[in-house]
Amino acid sequence: MPESKEKGSFFRKWAMRQYWRMQQSQAVVGLLLWGITITLLVWPYISWRFADACDSGICFSGSFLGIPSTYAGLSVIFLSVMFAVLTIGFLYDQVFSLWTEWRNVDMERNPFVTYALSPNWVMMIALQAETLKRTTPGDEAIAQQADWYLKWCEQYTEGEMFARAVQHWDKDLGETPTFWFTTDGAMQRARETSFEDEG
């Protein structure tokens, strides 16, 4: 692999890891920021109703039980925004069911659902392919397909996910054996792989 491509891949992965970390708090932080922003944008239009100078329409006293009524006004606006967001969420979920289409797109874009194999899938597919191959010894067509499955599994023993799995298996279960669908070299490369986000 060219060095420039490796550097580009490293940078993209590093950037996506930082983005993923920010996303973990995005829902809560985003909701709070939107609520606070809209509250502060609306407040100037109704704040006069909470002032002592208010003398027309609906007015509120300057304080209640020693607490300025301004806090009550701000709280009502904020809670109204949260209720509006909850209502939109309910419509999104129960009325329009848009989440089903979102999941379809999410699955289409997920390589581990379409063509790639995670370590647990590698193990299951390889085991099934080998079992199929051994239980149908005279069927050339099945043998060829089973070999294709095993080649598919072998391809994904060269990736980072398999390397992470092997290192954790070594640590938790003792030395991982060299599986029948891979090589000693692949297992050694998996053990020697270093991860910039660990250690």
Domain spans of the chain? Answer: 3-109, 113-192
Average pLDDT (89-118) is: 90
The pLDDT-based confidence of 8 (bands split at 50, 70, 90) is low
pLDDT, residue 66, reads: 77
pLDDT digits (tens, 9 = 90+) for 15-57: 988 998 888 888 889 999 999 999 999 999 988 888 777 878 8
3-state secondary structure of 97: coil
Residue bearing tokens 């023993």? 157
Q: What are phi and psi of 64, to 5 degrees?
A: -135, 120
pLDDT, residue 1, reads: 44
**Least-confidence region, from 43-47, 83-87, 117-121:** 43-47
The dihedral formed by the CA atoms of 176, 131, 154 and 138, expressed in degrees to the nearest 10 = 140
| Statement: residue 7 has pLDDT above 80 | no
| Statement: residue 199 has pLDDT above 50 | no
Q: How far is CA 180 from the centre of its chain?
A: 33
Q: What are phi and psi of 63, to 5 degrees?
A: -155, 160
pLDDT, residue 156, reads: 94
Q: What is the mean pLDDT of the chain?
A: 89
The pLDDT-based confidence of 67 (bands split at 50, 70, 90) is confident
pLDDT, residue 69, reads: 83
Average pLDDT (113-119) is: 93
Q: Which two tokens stand for residue 117?
A: 């194999």
- Please provide the DSSP assignment of 37-86 as one string: HHHHHHHHHHGGGGSTT--SSS---SEETTEEHHHHHHHHHHHHHHHHHH
CA distance 167 to 188: 10
- pTM: predicted TM-score of the whole model, two decimal places: 0.60
